[in-house]
Amino acid sequence: MTDEKQSVCIDCGTADTGKMWVIMGPQHPFSHGLWTLKAQIDGEIVTDAEPIVGYLHRGWEKECENRTYPKIIPMADRLCYAASMTYTHLYCLTVEKALGIEVPDKAKYIRMVGDEICRIQSHLMWLAAVGTDLGNLTVFLWAMREREYFMDLNVRLCGARMTTNFPRIGGVRNDTTELFDRDILRCIDLFEKSIWDTISLIDDSSIFISRMRGTGYLTREQCANLGITGPAMRGTGVDFDVRRDDPYSNYDKVDYEVPVLKDGDSYARYLVRIEEMFQSCKIIKQCMQKIGALGKNAPYRLKTPSNVPAGRAFARIEDPRGESMMYLVADGTDKPYRLKVRSPIFTNVSASKPLVQGSRIADVPVIMAMIDMCLGETDR
Amino acid sequence: MTKEFLDKYPKNPARTLWIMKPVVTVLKLLFKTTVHRPVTILYPYEKLWVPDNYRGRPGLRFDRCVECGMCVRMCPTACIKLVDVDDDNGKKVKRPQINMGRCAMCGYCAEYCPVDAMTVTPEFELAEYTRRDLIYGPRRLAYDGINENMEIHIEETLISDIENGNPERRISPFKTDRPVLEASKCISCKKCEKVCPVDAVKMIEHGVNEKGRAILYPEFDDGLCICCRNCVEDCPKDALHINEVL
């Protein structure tokens, strides 16, 4: 394709279309999932970029309109396979708001534990993906090894590894099992030690640092204009986290920090995510204490009516990738009239142009991996 | 700011001894892998340990099933259907058949089974050569060594119980919710009596109409009813609805 600013070749004097569009994806080793990044390159420098999503569109929101409320829970699991419990939690929160019921404390804490397990699991999967993008397969293998602890915890909690189908409208499916209570603290202690192997692989290697530091700059203004949320936003110095600033469940009753860095480059996003994993461990420990204090007989699942009264409800939650929201329009029957999902990645990927502009083509996979693409929720 | 975050973490010895970095890392790893057992398993020869409540394929206890069709109604992927099959006495009965190619292993069939006939099983190796082999009939759904841990119960707390200061009571909706008749709509068609899987519906005579035919209204035996909603769904005049106790 030609550009307006065509340069003239020094040797022959003819117009030289120096810029070229490179289509990366939908099947490309750089893209984690089915999406395309069109990058315009001038030599080795990326001058323009355009993301194309929609290859995985499967009519999720329309499908919900033909299903009764409990049947949407297994579907919400499949919005994001890496952090399935957060989306199920979000859906249940939305329906509970429409019903106007308050979930018992124990259910809230169990949901928070599930959320944080999913957050760690998702960040580890991202770390594994970054490792392969940076050309280090050891990071991939070690991060996946640590992720396996949390998969096992999911099995002990609800019997499934990835698509957990665990939160219910009005609570959670089952109480924490004895195996889970025993294993979760051990797992976290083990994780807090063994993750250092993986971190030291990246942090102690000047190659990785130089590929991450100073690439993929974002500013606070760009975050505000493009609607970027999550670790990508906190890496640019915006101190906002839905868990702390608009608390849902019982996040206001536990003590944790929100990591914020001002650098705005890929390395800041990496550090924010690493720190978030440690904060999640902190939250899980406190939640398990509170669950133990509530006792085995505390209620964890409320009975809810199968018909939701006509009205609208809106809930938002801090996903591992950003801020995800759901908007429900109920018409008084046992099926939703409309269910709208706002996925954080769908908006975050729109930042790909300011992110990759001016960087080298070889840095594009690393920069885009820092967004942590998840196509299940983007295309819905 | 970045420096502060790094300083919080314990210093890795490899960070200071930069020449020894690779040596230290490799030696540490060598020591670790020698002492510890392997992380991976040799899959076909040794299998992952899974607990009893692992959500593998659904299992069925043939004798307990009452053909209420609750699993069919609750399945999110519509992979279950009721098929005719002979039971041990040669009697024709209906039992669920599952298409494993569509099953999402969500465990709803086990959770919403009012008589705990459907269970989850720890069986996860379901590969077959053809699609036809993926369809599990009622007899094939049986699982050796089925036990109570594989059942999933709905143990809900009523909101009214919490308000009355009795938050420790757990109850399943199949024990509280019962169908209620709106007598003005009933046309005495006896359909609810026919579809009831547990014979909880009895048609009771309430006088005669102007043509001299008997007026029959259904009466529900609360002890036998399992709240399967078959009568509610099959009622031609929508005269029945489920009274949800909250």
Query: Does A1 reside within a domain?
Result: no
Query: Does A283 reside within a domain?
Result: yes
Chain B residues in contact with A74 (beta carbon < 8 A): 76, 104, 106, 108
Query: Does A2 reside within a domain?
Result: no
- Considering the domain architecture, whether residues B131 and B179 belong to the same structural domain is answered as no
- Considering the domain architecture, whether residues A328 and A368 belong to the same structural domain is answered as yes
Predicted local confidence at residue B19, as pLDDT: 64
Encoded tokens for A156: 């002990």
Query: Does A34 reside within a domain?
Result: yes
CB–CB contact A148 B74 (8 Å): no
Predicted local confidence at residue A327, as pLDDT: 92
* B129 pLDDT tier (thresholds 50, 70, 90): very high
- Considering the domain architecture, whether residues A323 and A202 belong to the same structural domain is answered as yes
Q: Give the one of A77, A101, A204 whose C-beta lies nearest to B15's C-beta.
A: A204
CA distance A284 to A192: 12
Query: Does B156 reside within a domain?
Result: no
Give the rounded percent of residues in chain B with a pLDDT score beyond 70: 91
- Considering the domain architecture, whether residues B190 and B233 belong to the same structural domain is answered as yes
How many Å lie between the alpha carbon of A39 and the closest alpha carbon of chain B?
Answer: 30
Structural contact between residues A35 and A373, judged by C-beta atoms closer than 8 angstroms: yes
Summarize the confidence of residues A333-337 as an average pLDDT. Answer: 89
CB–CB contact A203 B156 (8 Å): no
CA distance A269 to A223: 13
Highest mean pLDDT among A167-176, B13-22, B206-215: A167-176
Q: Name the residue type at position B236.
A: P
Q: Which region, left, alpha or beta, applies to residue B151 given φ > 0 means left and ψ of -120 to 50 means alpha? A: beta
- Considering the domain architecture, whether residues B71 and B128 belong to the same structural domain is answered as yes
Q: Is the pLDDT of residue A279 over 80?
A: yes
- Considering the domain architecture, whether residues A22 and A46 belong to the same structural domain is answered as yes
Q: Is the pLDDT of residue A340 over 60?
A: yes
**Which residues sit opposite A172 in a β-bridge?**
A167
CB–CB contact B53 A177 (8 Å): yes
Summarize the confidence of residues B221-228 as an average pLDDT. Answer: 84
Q: Give the one of B14, B107, B158 whose C-beta lies nearest to A159's C-beta.
A: B107
CA distance A176 to A169: 17
Predicted local confidence at residue A23, as pLDDT: 86
The burial of A86, by beta-carbon neighbours within 10 Å (0-12 exposed, 13-18 middle, 19 or more buried), is given as buried
- Considering the domain architecture, whether residues A32 and A175 belong to the same structural domain is answered as no
Query: Does B187 reside within a domain?
Result: yes
- Considering the domain architecture, whether residues A39 and A137 belong to the same structural domain is answered as no
Predicted local confidence at residue A265, as pLDDT: 86
Query: Does B6 reside within a domain?
Result: no
CA distance B6 to A262: 14
With an 8 Å Cβ cutoff, is A306 touching chain B? yes
CA distance A279 to A274: 9
Residue carrying the six token digits 């938002």? A316
Predicted local confidence at residue B10, as pLDDT: 58
A223-274: pLDDT as tens digits: 888 888 888 888 888 888 888 888 888 888 888 888 888 888 888 888 888 8
CA distance A142 to B29: 12
The Cβ-side half-sphere exposure at A18, using a 13 Å CA radius, reads 14
A12-53: pLDDT as tens digits: 555 556 788 888 878 777 777 788 888 888 888 888 888 888
Domains identified in chain A, total number: 2
Summarize the confidence of residues A130-150 as an average pLDDT. Answer: 85
Q: Give the one of B12, B106, B154 whose C-beta lies nearest to A200's C-beta.
A: B12
Q: Is the pLDDT of residue A1 over 50?
A: no
Encoded tokens for B161: 């119980």
Chain B residues in contact with A199 (beta carbon < 8 A): 9
CB–CB contact B157 A297 (8 Å): no
Summarize the confidence of residues B18-25 as an average pLDDT. Answer: 70
Predicted local confidence at residue A2, as pLDDT: 46
Smallest CA–CA distance from B21 into chain A, residue: A204
Query: Does A280 reside within a domain?
Result: yes
- Considering the domain architecture, whether residues B123 and B199 belong to the same structural domain is answered as no
Higher pLDDT, A206 or A192: A192
Query: Does B8 reside within a domain?
Result: no
Query: The domain containing residue B194 runs over which residues?
Result: 173-243
Query: Which CATH number goes with the domain that contains B94?
Result: 3.30.70.3270
Encoded tokens for B136: 């599990």
Structural contact between residues A107 and A114, judged by C-beta atoms closer than 8 angstroms: no
Smallest CA–CA distance from B173 into chain A, residue: A303
Burial B83-109 (b: 16+ CB within 10 A, else e): eebeeeeeeebbbbbbbbeebbbbbbb
Query: Which CATH number goes with the domain that contains A144?
Result: 1.10.645.10
Domain-terminating residue out of B150, B182, B207? B150
Q: Is the pLDDT of residue A185 over 70?
A: yes
Predicted local confidence at residue A11, as pLDDT: 57
Closest Cα to residue B109, out of A171, A62, A70? A70
Mean pLDDT across chain A: 85
Summarize the confidence of residues A131-145 as an average pLDDT. Answer: 84
- Considering the domain architecture, whether residues A40 and A91 belong to the same structural domain is answered as no
CB–CB contact B53 A71 (8 Å): no
CA distance B156 to B141: 28
CB–CB contact B152 A179 (8 Å): no
- Considering the domain architecture, whether residues A198 and A256 belong to the same structural domain is answered as yes
- Considering the domain architecture, whether residues A20 and A145 belong to the same structural domain is answered as no
Query: The domain containing residue A32 runs over which residues?
Result: 7-52
B145-188: pLDDT as tens digits: 888 888 888 888 888 888 888 878 888 888 888 888 887 888 88
Query: Does B81 reside within a domain?
Result: yes
Predicted local confidence at residue B8, as pLDDT: 62
- Considering the domain architecture, whether residues A167 and A226 belong to the same structural domain is answered as yes
Predicted local confidence at residue A322, as pLDDT: 86
Chain B residues in contact with A138 (beta carbon < 8 A): none
Predicted local confidence at residue B169, as pLDDT: 81
How many Å lie between the alpha carbon of A165 and the closest alpha carbon of chain B?
Answer: 6
Domains identified in chain B, total number: 2
* A156 pLDDT tier (thresholds 50, 70, 90): confident
Chain A residues in contact with B15 (beta carbon < 8 A): 200, 203-204
Query: Does B50 reside within a domain?
Result: no
- Considering the domain architecture, whether residues B123 and B62 belong to the same structural domain is answered as yes
3-class secondary-structure state, position B8: helix
- Considering the domain architecture, whether residues A20 and A130 belong to the same structural domain is answered as no
- Considering the domain architecture, whether residues A42 and A105 belong to the same structural domain is answered as no
- Considering the domain architecture, whether residues B177 and B227 belong to the same structural domain is answered as yes
Strands A36-42, A45-52: pairing kind: antiparallel
* B9 pLDDT tier (thresholds 50, 70, 90): low
Peptide bond into A344 cis (omega under 30): no
- Considering the domain architecture, whether residues B111 and B191 belong to the same structural domain is answered as no
A304-323: pLDDT as tens digits: 888 888 989 999 998 888 88
Query: Does B47 reside within a domain?
Result: no
- Considering the domain architecture, whether residues A39 and A67 belong to the same structural domain is answered as no
Mean pLDDT across chain B: 83
Q: Give the one of A174, A261, A297 whose C-beta lies nearest to B1's C-beta.
A: A261
CA distance A179 to A211: 42
Query: Does A349 reside within a domain?
Result: yes
Beta strand segments in chain B, E: 58-60, 80-86, 92-99, 118-120, 135-136, 178-181, 201-208, 214-220, 240-243
Query: Does B45 reside within a domain?
Result: no
Cα angle B130, B133, B136 (rounded to 5 degrees) comes to: 150
